Amino acid sequence: MMSKMRNPLSAAGLVLAPMAMLLSSCATVPVPATQNVMAEQHTRAEIREVANRAANWQLANLDNLEETIRYISRETPNKRGWVMGTFFLGLADYAQRTDQPLYLQSLTRIADDQDWRLGDRLYHADDHLIGQVYFALDRAGVASADLAPTQATLDAILADRPTNQMMHPDVESDPGCARRWCWSDALFMAPATWWDAASTLNNAAYADFAHEEFVVATDLLFDQEVGLYYRDSRFFDRRGADGEKLFWSRGNGWVYGGLVNILQVMDVNDPRRDYYISLFRRMSDSLVAIQTDEGMWRASLLATSETPPETSGTGFFTYGLAWGLNEGVLVGDRYETAANAGWDALVANVDADGRLGYVQQVGDQPEGVQPDDTQLYGVGAFLLAAGQIERLRTR
């Protein structure tokens, strides 16, 4: 549950209570169907207005990164990398759910320019994310879709499967465990690509690999007591400013969103599905319990002191909660309250031009964030949330 939900009507309780008693004694007056339709149309229009505004702003600034983003990593301008890839994935999902082909056309041009290839690093999960975009475009019926390069990369990995240890090195320059999914972000970047490939390309070996590696990563990084993921093994013994275990908001957002992406492309009859649903529900309960009064989640999820809002983690959590409700995986008012509060908080941080603020910059742990901080992956998470919130509020 949210720690405290403010009720703006509570002060008027003495006035409202008699009226409520009077109304309860009257017969319920059905709302005309036309009014329901009009309400749904209004809700849909409101959500699409702010989501389109954010999508259009980001598309217009794809080649203007240095003027709009405070921290540019070496991966930021890479159109086959994880930073842009997360935005592209959110845009593809949102475009399909809202039937906006112009967005799909923009993504198709980018995919064509990149020859439908994954990133350059064979084993690195970050370079597999873009495959999810390619599969989405293929499902949308894009004529030029070419999945052969993705298939070739996955086959090369299966032919020489990595078996390195999963403990993260303390030295940043040491690639160490990155040939496998040894950090939480990886569980968003790669697994859904493999699961989608298993279904689309009819090769169960891809799903077997993805499941085995996901379980290994979860056995290492998931804290059974708290129900959240450590970013990587370096954080097992670290503590935050309030003495709390360090569970990074976006790091858990990657996993939570990744679970949704896996479940959306996995065969509904796959016996392994229960494993992912169980994890998803466990995380959902943990996340709802630590949501702030403002509808956000702190960069350090268990921190007790006041911290600025952070929208990338909040975007992924809102996406997951809304999806869970829409699919019947989550049932209950507390989840719906949390999802709606998360969305309202996100919308409050989109400015008139469409810039999403309070996005923590590229990193691997909780850090400070400024009102004007934005990043492509934050917008991607926002668009994923938008598609599911529209479903939730118009069902």
Is residue 293 among the annotated active site residues?
no
Q: What is 34-95 written as a DSSP string? A: HHHHHHHHHHHHHHHHHHHHHHHHHHHTTT-HHHH-S---TTTT-TTSHHHHHHHHHHHHHH
CA distances from 219 to 33, 193, 214, 272, 289 (A): 50, 21, 9, 16, 23
Among candidate residues 290, 309, 293, the one with its CA nearest the CA of residue 301: 290
Phi and psi at residue 191, in whole multiples of 5°?
-55, -45
- 3-state SS assignment for residue 300: strand
Q: Quick one: CA dihedral 262, 45, 54, 382, positive or negative?
A: negative
Catalytic residue among 93, 126, 185, 232: 185
Phi and psi at residue 353, in whole multiples of 5°?
-85, -20
C-alpha 49/C-alpha 216 separation (Å) is: 42
Active site residues: 185
